[in-house]
Amino acid sequence: MAHNLLKGKRGIITGALDENSIAWKVALRAHEEGATFVLTNAPIAMRMGEINKLAAQTNSKIIPADATSVEDIEKLYTEAMAHLGGKIDFVLHSIGMSVNIRKNIPYPELNYDYFNKGVDVSAFSFHKLLAVAYKLDALNEHASVVALSYIAAQRAYPFYTDMADIKAMLESIARTFGYHYGKHKKVRVNTISQSPTRTTAGSGIKGFSDFYDFAEKQSPLGNASAEDCANYTISLFSDFTRMVTMQNLYHDGGYSSTGVSQEQLDAMK
Ligand SMILES: NC(=O)c1ccc[n+]([C@@H]2O[C@H](COP(=O)([O-])OP(=O)(O)OC[C@H]3O[C@@H](n4cnc5c(N)ncnc54)[C@H](O)[C@@H]3O)[C@@H](O)[C@H]2O)c1
């Protein structure tokens, strides 16, 4: 159900690869809530062509940008503001990639070139999105910037390898840039720590199905879906949360506060 929560707001949505992507669901909901926005992804991801369907459905322009390139990001903001007719009110960072995970390399044996690549794509890109906006003065006051994280930033998960460290950095960037941008222009910056979700990035992790089922049993409300994550993200883009900033917000059906569920104990009998 739509409530016009984002009526008149302009945004940039990264990371919609296919219809399973969390960013894809956010774009659909943002459109329903009255926002106008541009979609962006790495030029290589465009080759699949899926994003064109989303652009048509949401009446939005696609501006390719590699999130590791400051030059591409400058072009992204400049073209987005020209196309949308003003400064930006919300930005979604929905970008994650680890070659170490893709290649199933265990944590004690991490390849540092791959690690560097993962940091660049999945964490520095968040700093760059914020730093370029800051430099170009591309965001309106009280604009909301959200990135997606995972609880491996706080707790050890063997399968999440270097992405655990990378997500810890992502969450730290939200806090530290949130301070600077909050002081500067009242811009707020948060991360959402999302349940395991069946997407291309998620399913690329070894044993994803097992820990998806584990989290489902562990969480009193069950795993939060991509659609639920989109709704939560919309609330953070809306004016109802205009004083929320520098937070890592768990969106996980209660998983992060549960020691052990009765279902897990029963399963061990
Ligand atoms: N799926 C999960 O279980 C889960 C859980 C918690 C957090 N997250 C996070 O949610 C975010 C979105 O992932 P998703 O699960 O929707 O998967 P996804 O694979 O659909 O999205 C990842 C996106 O990152 C983009 N990307 C990769 N390299 C890029 C680059 N250089 N420049 C620009 N874009 C680039 C990809 O093209 C893709 O669109 C990620 O940050 C991920 O870590 C996912």
Q: How confident is the model at residue 203 (pLDDT cuts 50, 70, 90)?
A: confident
DSSP 37: E
For residue 265, report the distance from its CA to the centre of ligand 1, in Å.
Answer: 33
CA distance 64 to 39: 8
What's the mean per-residue pLDDT of the chain? 96
Q: Alpha-carbon distance 64 to 71, whole Å?
A: 12
For residues 193 and 146, is the Cβ–Cβ distance under 8 A?
A: no
Class of domain 10-254: alpha beta
- Ligand 1 atom nearest residue 66's Cα: 32
Average pLDDT rounded to a whole number, residues 115-134: 98
Report how far ligand 1's centroid is from the alpha carbon of 27 (Å): 14
pLDDT digit string, tens, across residues 249-263: 999 999 999 999 999
pLDDT band of residue 102 (cuts 50, 70, 90) is very high
* Entry pTM: 0.98
Q: Check if the beta carbon of residue 111 is closer than 8 Å to that of residue 214.
A: no
Q: Would you state the pLDDT for residue 22?
A: 98
The candidate with the shortest Cα–Cα distance to 41, out of 66, 68, 77, 75, is 66
Q: What's residue 206's pLDDT?
A: 79
- Protein residues whose CB sits closer than 6 Å to any atom of ligand 1: 14-15, 17, 21-23, 41-42, 45, 66-68, 94-97, 121, 148-150, 194, 196-197, 199-202
Residue 205 above 90 pLDDT? no
Q: What is the mean pLDDT of residues 202-213?
A: 86
C-alpha span between 192 and 157 (Å, rounded): 18
- Which residue has the CA at smallest separation from atom 1 of ligand 1? 202
Give kind and range of the element (H or E) at residue 191.
strand 188-194
pLDDT > 90? residue 55:
yes
| 51 Cβ contact list (under 8 Å, min separation 6) | 16, 17, 39, 41, 45, 62
What average pLDDT does the segment 219-225 reach?
98
What is the model's pLDDT at position 167? 98
Please give the share of the chain, as a percent, with pLDDT higher than 90.
90
Ligand 1 site-directed mutation target among 39, 148, 154, most atoms within 8 Å of CB: 148
- pLDDT reported for residue 201: 84
pLDDT at 9: 98
Q: How many angstroms separate the CA atoms of 69 and 14, rounded?
A: 14
Average pLDDT for 141-169: 97
Whether residue 143 is predicted with pLDDT greater than 90 in this model: the reply is yes
- Going by alpha carbons, the residue nearest to atom 10 of ligand 1 is 148
How many whole angstroms from 121 Cα to the centroid of ligand 1? 10
The Cα–Cα gap between 85 and 180 comes to 26
User: CA-CA distance, 39 to 63, in Å (whole number)?
Assistant: 6
Residue 267 CA to ligand 1 center (angstroms) comes to: 32
Specify the pLDDT at position 134.
98
**125 pLDDT higher than 80:** yes
Q: How far is the CA of 202 from the centre of ligand 1 (A)?
A: 8
CB atoms within 10 A of CB 40: 30
- Domain segments of the chain: what residues? 10-254
Pocket test for ligand 1, best of 18, 19, 21, 205 (most atoms within 8 A of CB): 21
pLDDT band at 144 (very low <50, low <70, confident <90, very high): very high
pLDDT surpassing 80 at residue 151: yes
CB 119 within 8 A of CB 41: no
pLDDT at 114 over 90: yes
Residue 67 has pLDDT above 80, yes or no: yes
Query: What's the whole-number mean pLDDT along residues 22-51?
Result: 95
Who's near 71: CB < 8 A, 6+ residues apart? none
pLDDT band at residue 1 using 50, 70 and 90 as cut-offs? confident
